[in-house]
């Protein structure tokens, strides 16, 4: 058993990608295809008073009147129009679509298309907003009692900024119209989200809408919900033009208009004994949702569930809210709320350790969640709970204690963060999704049919490994069907670290069922004798997994992955530039199906987290991203790449395929607080990210404004 699982097999999409043969959306065209562009609002909030459109022949123009079905992007709340009718709520809100056969003719249309507005006052501060998309409360134990048991009560406020996913391939789709039907090809993560949005927009029966994923040049959550909007636009134009329409954003438009990570404000009030035991945690989480609901409610949900960190405490109160502001909607980005809230708790833990004069490792050891402990939602953890093992491994591997001592008072600092990440949809989410996966017998093995997309993380390869071993055939005999809603079942979206642990498990079940039906025959022999057949399995929750969505209590996730980061860095005292010089990333992920690709997720996610911590800053000016280009929205380059030591631990999850948990998102939860804690070690008191040189220059050089008071 286990020839493919655990081995670094050759990835299925590798050869096409290194030879330039892989076809991304902009590499594809159709006969008669024209190009589409979007005309957007230039103000953050107001009423459209007049539309001036003076375009010569040859242009196709469409607005909300051209929508045959409902004018909203179907996702969670029906609040976001596909094309604005009378009101605009943010800069770059789509109003009008223009198509032309000659691509360059779509550049610089501002002269010929313009709008008059009656402007309204915009709101940019989420705490000043009177519109709340979602409120969530988590209550555990008795907070007053918890604070009464404390010797010290300590407070802090932490802030995080926007972050752009910055996939290197911008958003793009092609819509191909047919007779009462529509096909959309695109760079996307969630084909069935796009499918649902098109069905609602076009008013067509589901069977008349088809969505096909093309090779996708990165997603990171940025292609979770936005492609639905773009697909709707292309479909409207295609329907009107009666021709295929290609819409590819350039980088500036992609940065201006598409979703980013929610900025947040996190406030902690914590009760702790002199000995370092945490007795009470009171946490407030405010997320800036932007102008429409999109996925804010779910981002907030994951955020609040992770807000008390991987720590045991009997008395917890968490209050979260996602608020409307007049900026482009924020949405999914790797980590999905957890990087923000775990930045808050982990920065707070080091300040708390300072406050009571205890070592930050010791404080974490004293409070880390262990098997049998309960989380904030009251979930009892199984024996794979690994906060302590990852912490100890990271401390040992990095030489944390010695460097901490040696570097004090120098320009070098070392800091750590301890974190966890729930795999799969939150609470009852997976039950509601009821995902399906199928496996079809072929002449030499089997073909995988799932809607899970390959976006670089290795979906096709990892799924084929699981099926190969569960079916008992060589890895090369497993094919993967292209993601096309006409052929593959709805396996749910490719998000939430669920592609391996949830969809992979469905495939494992399919393969075992297929194995049973084959009896003693090989797939080839069975195929020759009886022909092909298909096995389908549907999600069933692990036994005893209970969730109460009203009270926000119970088993929030089937399993958690656990991580600890140690960041070593150097501050230039003249320029306040920060250079990470070494990173240790320990991750407990159940089972690494493909160790090299799992390591790739950890290295890549950690690098993205270092960018989030230090250099990636979205500058909003009057509701508009002022640095909407790669010249001044900067991400780590090869010269910024810090050496990294990745260590993977495996404590199998009983209901994951071969024991696997989720791995994709967790790596971005830890780097930012580890950086901030390393800066604190250098003497810089920074509580918001990104910790740019400007912010560092103005940071207090001694510690803590946090209030200290005797409880009781």
Partner 1 sequence: MIAIINGKRRKLDVHPMKRLLDVLREDCGLTGTKEGCGEGECGACTVLVDGVAVDSCLVPAAQADGCAIVTIEGVARARSGRALQDAFVKLGGAQCGICTPGMIVAALPLKAGASLDEIKTALAGNLCRCTGYLSIFRSVQAGLRPSREALRPTRKTRVKGKRANAR
Binding site residues, partner 1, CB under 8 A: 6-8, 10-11, 13-24, 26-27, 165-170, 215-220, 250-251, 455-458, 592, 595-597, 599-600, 603-608, 629-631, 635-639, 641, 643-645, 647-650
CB nearer to partner 1: give 15 or 125.
15
- What is the nearest approach in angstroms of partner 1 to the Cβ of residue 632? 10
Sequence-distant (6+) residues with CB within 8 A of 108 are none
For partner 1, the closer of residues 571 and 593 by Cβ is 593
CB atoms within 10 A of CB 712: 9
Minimal distance, residue 255 CB to partner 1, in Å: 10
Nearer to partner 1, 148 or 635 (CB): 635
Neighbouring residues of 241: CB distance < 8 A, sequence distance ≥ 6: 34, 60, 99, 177
Minimum CB–partner distance for residue 127 and partner 1 (Å): 32
- Please say which residue, 8 or 411, places its beta carbon nearer to partner 1: 8
Nearer to partner 1, 553 or 591 (CB): 591
Residue pair 72/207 in contact by the 8 Å Cβ criterion: no
d(CA 180, CA 185): 17
Sequential DSSP letters for 338-374: HHHHHHHHHHHHHHHHHHHT--HHHHHHHHB--TT-B
Strand 172-178 to 181-186 pairing: antiparallel
How big is the CA angle at 162 (ends 124 and 636), to the nearest 5 degrees?
150
Closest CB to partner 1 among 77 and 640? 640
Q: What is the CA radius of gyration of the chain?
A: 26
Within 471-625, strands assigned E span: 478-480, 534-538, 547-548, 553-554, 559-571, 578-588, 620-621, 624-625
DSSP 504: I
Considering the complex, what minimum distance in angstroms separates the CB of residue 596 from partner 1?
4
Shortest distance, position 601 Cβ to partner 1, whole Å: 9
Q: Which CB sits closer to partner 1, 432 or 645?
A: 645
Distance of CA 586 to the CA centre of its chain: 20
Closest separation in Å from C-beta 641 to partner 1: 4
Question: The tokens of 216 are what?
Answer: 């996708």
Q: Coil, helix or strand for 666? A: helix
In the structure encoding, which two tokens stand for residue 164, read together?
Answer: 């752009």
Provide the minimum distance between the beta carbon of 600 and partner 1 in the complex, in angstroms, as a whole number.
5
Q: Least separation, in Å, of the C-beta of 26 and partner 1?
A: 7
CA angle 192-238-217, nearest 5°? 50
Q: Is the CB of 544 or the CB of 631 nearer to partner 1?
A: 631
Least CB distance to partner 1 at residue 451 (A): 18
CB of 266 to partner 1, least distance (A): 26
Helix (H) or strand (E) holding 448: strand 446-449
Query: Of 62 and 614, which has the nearer Cβ to partner 1?
Result: 614
How far, in Å, CA of 156 to CA of 250, rounded? 41
- Comparison of 218 and 335: residue with beta carbon closer to partner 1: 218
């Amino acid at each position: 058993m286990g020839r493919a699982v655990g081995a670094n097999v050759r990835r299925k999409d590798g050869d096409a990608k290194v030879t330039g043969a892989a076809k991304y959306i902009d590499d594809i065209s159709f006969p008669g295809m024209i190009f589409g562009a979007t005309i957007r609002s230039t103000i953050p909030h107001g009423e459209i008073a007049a539309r001036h459109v003076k375009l010569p022949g040859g242009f196709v123009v469409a607005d909300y009147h051209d929508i045959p079905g409902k004018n909203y992007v179907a996702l969670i709340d029906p609040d976001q129009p596909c094309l604005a009718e009378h009101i605009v709520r943010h800069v770059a809100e789509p109003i009008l679509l223009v198509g032309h056969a000659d691509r360059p003719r779509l550049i610089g249309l501002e002269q010929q298309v313009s709008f008059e507005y009656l402007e309204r006052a915009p709101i940019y501060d989420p705490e000043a907003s009177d519109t709340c998309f979602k409120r969530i409360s988590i209550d555990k134990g008795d907070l007053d009692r918890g604070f009464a048991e404390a010797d010290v009560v300590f407070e802090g406020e932490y802030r995080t900024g926007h972050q752009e996913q910055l996939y290197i391939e911008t958003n793009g789709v092609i819509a191909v119209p047919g007779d009462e039907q529509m096909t959309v090809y695109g760079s996307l993560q969630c084909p069935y989200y796009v499918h649902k949005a098109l069905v609602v927009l076009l008013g067509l029966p589901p069977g008349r809408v088809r969505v096909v994923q093309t090779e996708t040049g990165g997603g990171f959550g940025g292609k979770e919900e936005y492609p639905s909007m773009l697909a709707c636009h292309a479909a409207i134009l295609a329907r009107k033009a009666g021709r295929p329409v290609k819409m590819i954003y350039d980088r500036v438009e992609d940065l201006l208009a598409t979703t980013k990570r929610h900025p947040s404000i996190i406030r902690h009030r914590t009760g702790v004994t002199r000995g370092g035991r945490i007795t009470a945690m009171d946490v407030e989480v405010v997320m800036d949702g932007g102008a429409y609901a999109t996925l804010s409610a779910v981002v907030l949900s994951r955020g609040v569930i992770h807000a008390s960190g991987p720590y045991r405490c009997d008395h917890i109160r968490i209050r979260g809210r996602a608020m409307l502001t007049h900026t482009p909607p924020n949405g999914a980005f790797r980590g999905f709320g957890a990087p923000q809230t775990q930045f808050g708790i982990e920065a707070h833990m080091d300040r708390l350790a300072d406050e009571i004069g205890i070592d930050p490792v010791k404080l974490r050891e004293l409070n880390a969640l262990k098997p049998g402990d309960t989380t904030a939602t009251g979930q009892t953890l199984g024996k794979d709970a690994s906060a302590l093992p990852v912490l100890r491994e990271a401390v040992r591997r990095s030489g944390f204690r010695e460097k901490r001592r040696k570097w004090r008072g120098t320009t070098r600092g070392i800091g750590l963060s301890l974190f966890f990440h729930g795999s799969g949809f939150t609470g009852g989410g997976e039950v509601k999704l009821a995902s399906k996966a199928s496996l079809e017998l072929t002449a030499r093995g089997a073909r995988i049919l799932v809607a899970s997309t390959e976006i670089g993380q290795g979906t096709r390869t990892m799924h084929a490994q699981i099926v190969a071993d569960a079916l008992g055939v060589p890895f090369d005999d497993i094919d993967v069907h292209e993601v096309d809603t006409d052929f593959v079942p709805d396996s749910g979206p490719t998000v939430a670290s669920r592609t391996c642990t949830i969809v992979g498990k469905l495939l494992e079940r399919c393969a075992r069922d297929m194995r049973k039906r084959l009896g003693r025959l090989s797939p080839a022999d069975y195929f020759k004798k009886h022909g092909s057949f298909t096995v389908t399995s549907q999600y069933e929750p692990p036994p005893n997994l209970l969730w109460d969505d009203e009270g926000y209590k119970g088993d929030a996730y089937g399993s958690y992955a656990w991580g600890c980061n140690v960041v070593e860095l150097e501050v230039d005292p003249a320029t306040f530039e920060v250079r990470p010089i070494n990173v240790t990333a320990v991750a407990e992920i159940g089972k690494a199906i493909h160790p090299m690709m799992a390591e790739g997720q950890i290295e890549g996610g950690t690098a993205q987290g270092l960018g989030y911590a230090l250099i990636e800053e979205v500058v909003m000016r009057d509701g508009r991203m002022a640095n909407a280009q790669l010249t001044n929205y900067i991400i780590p380059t090869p010269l910024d790449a810090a050496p990294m030591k990745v260590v993977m631990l495996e404590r199998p999850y009983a209901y994951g395929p071969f024991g696997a948990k989720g791995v994709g998102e967790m790596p971005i939860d830890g780097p930012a607080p580890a950086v901030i804690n390393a800066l604190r070690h250098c003497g810089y008191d920074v509580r918001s990210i990104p910790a740019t040189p400007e912010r560092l220059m103005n940071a207090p050089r001694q510690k803590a404004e946090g209030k200290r008071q005797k409880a009781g």
